[in-house]
A and B are shown apart, each in its own frame.
Chain A
Amino acid sequence: MENERKLTIARAMAEATAQEMRRDNSVFVMGEDIGQLGGVYGNTRGLWKEFGPERVRDTPISETAFIGAAVGAAQDGMRPVVELMFVDFFGVCMDAIYNLMAKNIYFSGGKFKVPMVLMTSVGGGYSDGGQHSQCLYGTFAHLPGMKVICPSNAYDAKGMMIEAIRDDSPVVYMYHKGLQGMGWLGTESGATVHTPSEDYTVPFGKAKVVREGGDVTLVGIGMSVHDSLKAAEKLESQGVSAEVVDLRSLVPLDRDTVFNSVAKTGRLIVVDEDYKSFGLTGEIITTIAERDISVLKASPQRVAYPDIPIPFSRPMERFALPNPDKIVAAYNEMN
């Protein structure tokens, strides 16, 4: 492509945040190691240098306090972008998230706005053990009052960050570590894509058909979109044409795009790196079952994380993670 400008998700997030900070003085950033270090996952790199420690604040390891503070600042007219370094750490601060951030708009009858972004890293695959590798999208999406999104590529990452900062409601912005483009972590190259330098938004609640096909629909978010795309290639060589849907946001959830795709293909496989039970995969299948089960030519399948804590050891973690081969196998088992 001419004038191609490939960015990593990390750089796209930082660029979006910087552009919004230049445009709007009420935008500021808080979190652990997001200042001089630029974020453990690089998504605030350059901000501290440009905007200084007043607007780019390294915090103590006090998530309850600074996420609670973000809620208060947001209600008082600021637009905080706060980082929970790993989603796994939500345990120490969930009250500020689900009882304050997610409910204060409702409790105030809509009189308070809570325009804050909670960005947090998700995902495993690099042997970081069971307290540093979870996705937990479903946990957040289950609780009403917060938007929950996860980009699969840098173009969406930038547009969704700008959309999130401008939103008057709280947005949980989940970014997958394996898509960040951090050299030291290994990265999915499909996530590093052309990203325009100007500002633009990508609306929430609009899933994207990232590959068209007629025989089966593969639905995923974040990393599982890339697994699905690779599976679609493999299926292609088997003579099967797979359509891939990138949900992009769980709340709001674009049920229409999922339904329309499955109505066309008649087959559904939901791919998810989050735990299998009581989560995203079940919700997507329900979307079809509730609306019109007759569009299904076969029982839907799910390729999701088994209901176990994430093991450290490489062979065990590999065994538990979704992958393209598992998706192909799931297709081949469909009748």
Chain B
Amino acid sequence: MVSRFFEEAMESIYMEGKTPVFNMAEGPIPGEMHLSNGQEPCAVGVIAHLTAGDIVTATHRPHHQAIAKGVDLDKMAAEIFGKKTGLSGGRGGHMHIFDADVNFACSGIIGQGMGPAVGAALSRKMRGEDGVAVAFLGEGAVNQGAFHESLNLASVWKLPVIFVVEDNAWGISVSKKQSTAVEHNAVRAQAYNMPGRFIADNDPIALFDVAGVAIEAARAGHGPTLIEVETYRLAGHFMGDAEDYRPEGEIDGLKAKDPILVMKKRLINDGLLTEDQHTALSDKAKARVDAAITFARESDFPAPEEALEKVFV
């Protein structure tokens, strides 16, 4: 819920200064903005098994994973606003969320989070230290060389790494059907001699169970697993995307399956949550996001010359 409220805040703040004429360069949050609304289950279903010491690498669409991993929300919001108090002092921005305290890193280049995840897993294994690495990627990334090379390397070296493909059916305007030769990428695991699992319907509980087994196996030294999750991109590829390529009605169909609402209903039906508890949780999440946004807004910009710092350490 924190993640969803965060994205909703991003959505409205991003548009500040960009109306009536949409210009990506304007407003308090300039540049591209890729929201993760609808994809929250992929992050929580897996990361719930991880500790701060475990490693996550993310993509150009990283907010939900970052929040699930416990990235400092104030500093993350400030980074997205380009403020001095941000995680990287404003050097990275929304596609480059880095938080060393919880071992979280990103790449805006498709597929390029995978090598570093494999390497972090290798590092833990070589030092005999505990730790699992999880590389998140979109279904569009499976057609990059880095995907195939990383899977093979992780498998031959039996590394503690999990690859999680968030299948939202679209790579910008190109559908998975148009671009990918197999229906489910989980079958590609066979080619690299590792387990492959497919999770239908954006189901966080089913994912939680499968990810638990995979992560336990990785911790026990049995090597990597590939998991593909059918998920929904409820927003455009980035803010400002007209989404003309979507078949008519698709977005309404997806919104009806909004995972936050589905989960709420499920928990209430199962007697695990009451309306009041839900309201309390929701208020708490909203307050947390509001505090982060306030922190970000009230923080100062870096001095321009700070651009020259931190190229080397």
Contacts and interface: CB of A to CB of B under 8 A. Distances in A.
Contacts of B21: 183
A64 interface: yes
A257 interface: no
Given A36-B245, A316-B302, A129 B92 contact: yes
A33 B172 contact: yes
B55 to A, nearest CB: 20
Interface string A287-320: 0000000000000000000111101111111111
Contact of B96 (A40, A92, A312, A320): A312
B145 A64 contact: yes
A61 interface: yes
B307 A319 contact: yes
Given A131-B109, A185-B23, A313-B91, A40 B82 contact: no
Contacts of B180: 60
A125 interface: yes
Interface in A24-66: 32-33, 35-37, 40, 58-62, 64-65
Contacts of A127: 25, 30-31, 82, 93
Contacts of B174: 32-33, 35, 58-60
A188 B277 CA distance: 53
A316 to B, nearest CB: 4
Q: Could you say which of A35, A58, A60, A185 has the most chain B C-beta atoms within 10 Å of its C-beta? A: A60
Nearest to A126: B25
A130 interface: yes
A186 B301 contact: no
Interface in B127-183: 140-141, 143-146, 171-174, 178-180
B110 A61 contact: yes
A129 B93 contact: yes
Contact of A308 (B25, B112, B146, B308): B308
B287 to A, nearest CB: 27
A168 interface: no
B204 interface: no
Given A61-B179, A319-B305, A313 B140 contact: no
B173 A311 contact: no
B304 interface: yes
Contact of B304 (A62, A64, A318): A318
Nearest to A88: B109
Contact of A316 (B22, B173, B306): B306
B256 interface: no
A315 B107 contact: no
A128 interface: yes
A154 to B, nearest CB: 20
B109 A58 contact: no
A135 B245 CA distance: 30
B179 A40 contact: no
Given A128-B31, A311-B90, A314-B30, 20 more contacts: A36-B173, A37-B173, A37-B245, A60-B143, A61-B110, A61-B171, A61-B179, A91-B109, A127-B93, A129-B93, A131-B108, A183-B22, A183-B23, A185-B25, A308-B307, A312-B82, A313-B83, A313-B91, A313-B301, A319-B305
Interface of B: 21-26, 30-32, 79, 82-83, 86, 89-96, 107-112, 140-141, 143-146, 171-174, 178-180, 240, 244-245, 301-308, 311
Interface of A: 32-33, 35-37, 40, 58-62, 64-65, 88-89, 91-92, 125-132, 183-186, 306-309, 311-320
23 contacts: A37-B173, A60-B143, A62-B144, A64-B145, A89-B109, A91-B109, A92-B110, A92-B145, A127-B30, A127-B31, A128-B31, A129-B92, A129-B93, A130-B96, A184-B240, A186-B24, A312-B92, A312-B93, A313-B89, A314-B30, A315-B302, A316-B91, A319-B304
